[in-house]
Amino acid sequence: MSTSFLHPCLRRMLGDRGGNFGIMTAIVLPVLFGAAGMAIQVGDLLLSKQQLQEAADSAALATATALANGTIQTSQAEAFARNFVAGQMANYLQSGIDIKSTTGVDVRTTTSGKSTSYQVTVSPDYDIAVNPLMQTVGFTTQNISTSSTTTSGNSQTQGSVSMFLVLDRSGSMGEDTATVNASDPTEEYNYDCSEKDRYGNVTKKKTCTDTRPHYYTKIEALKLAVGTLTGELDAVDPEKEYVRTGAVSYNIEMQKAKALDWGTAHVTKYVNKLTATDGTDSGEAFKTAYNKLADAAEDKAHVDKTGQVPTKYIVFMTDGDNNYTSADTETKTWCDKARDAKMQVYTIAFMAPARGQALLSYCATAPGNYFPAGDMTALLKAFKEIGMKASNQVTRLTN
């Protein structure tokens, strides 16, 4: 074959672009799949990161509070924090992930004068399996990690505080939150598993037992939240010389109040006995809190002991609407009186509907004093923050 024939053939073959689309598709398609997988995965990773951050925040807060309250010792703090993270994440983790073993916990104790502070850092992480589209470009897992630190403070300069809690214990407070109980994560329940014929008629009545996640109820969450507040006060006033607290609970009517007294132990005992029943009417309870704080005898109790007139606080919490709009009106009247008397009113709307939120927003003495707590984590943070602000008055925090 002559070279004059070969040269034009080679030129035509090298210049032919007819198969380029197929070749380029084969090369680019995996990259496109990977990019699509990445776009989907990023949303999942951000959500998982948020869930893990909330779990770390709650675990650090709960652990520091338990240490301050003496509920646990420092030797128990690591296990407590890990269990709390596992409980918070129980509904979100893929099967087979042991987050307890991958959660780091660091506890540091500082003593200053008569007070002890605890710095708790909780650092959980875990690997999440990626979607099949990302697997086409070589990824198998992505690591999710975060960290949260809670520190309790102390100082030397003291100031006086009187605080009254006004707490909702209506029937809706017995409902579940979305947070799994860290110390008791599952519970047994019974259900109807009767045998039926093809027409749906019961032929053999049976009751079966199974297990399901055990969630904190709202009132259990409230008890833990109050503990975060009292823990802050106890940490800065261990000798019970500057802080007086009282409490009153309400459903459709006011329950007997716990009188103002030094320290927080009597309030903790009162709150821990609360049960959830009946409807909601906050008017009389808020009135009682105001009158107890406004009584001249309260100022005298502090002056006789410390020579100081106390800063006065009302902490008002509900998870619902009052049964009667007249109760809203009455509550607002006493909120106005508290504002006029220069009392600091903090309010927490715990998973509350619009009308309940509006009432508590109105009663707060400043926008920053109102906390719309949509879940248990937010409730714990709200009471913790209120406790810290009151502690600032007691301690003039310097650390």
Asked if 106 contacts 82 with a C-beta cutoff of 8 angstroms, the reply is no
Angle between helices 376-395 and 218-236 (to 10 degrees): 20
pLDDT score recorded for residue 328: 97
Residue count of the chain, please give it.
Answer: 399
DSSP string, 196-232: E-TTS-EEE--EEEEEEE-EEEHHHHHHHHHHHHHHH
Nearest alpha-carbon partner for 257 in 187, 143, 169: 169
Strands 370-373 and 141-145: unpaired
Nearest alpha-carbon partner for 160 in 301, 22, 1: 301
d(CA 295, CA 286): 14
pLDDT score recorded for residue 282: 97
**Per-residue pLDDT tens over the stretch 211-254:** 989 999 999 999 999 999 999 999 889 889 999 999 999 999 99
d(CA 329, CA 206): 52
End-to-end Cα separation, the chain, in angstroms: 94
Low-confidence ranges of the chain (pLDDT < 70): 1-43, 112-115, 130-139, 152-158, 395-399
pLDDT score recorded for residue 81: 93
**Per-residue pLDDT tens over the stretch 293-343:** 999 999 999 999 888 899 999 999 999 999 999 999 999 999 999 999 999
Model's pTM, two decimal places? 0.62
pLDDT score recorded for residue 393: 80
pLDDT score recorded for residue 156: 41
pLDDT score recorded for residue 2: 52
Helical segments of the chain, H only: 3-15, 20-69, 74-89, 132-135, 218-236, 265-272, 283-294, 296-306, 325-340, 354-363, 376-395
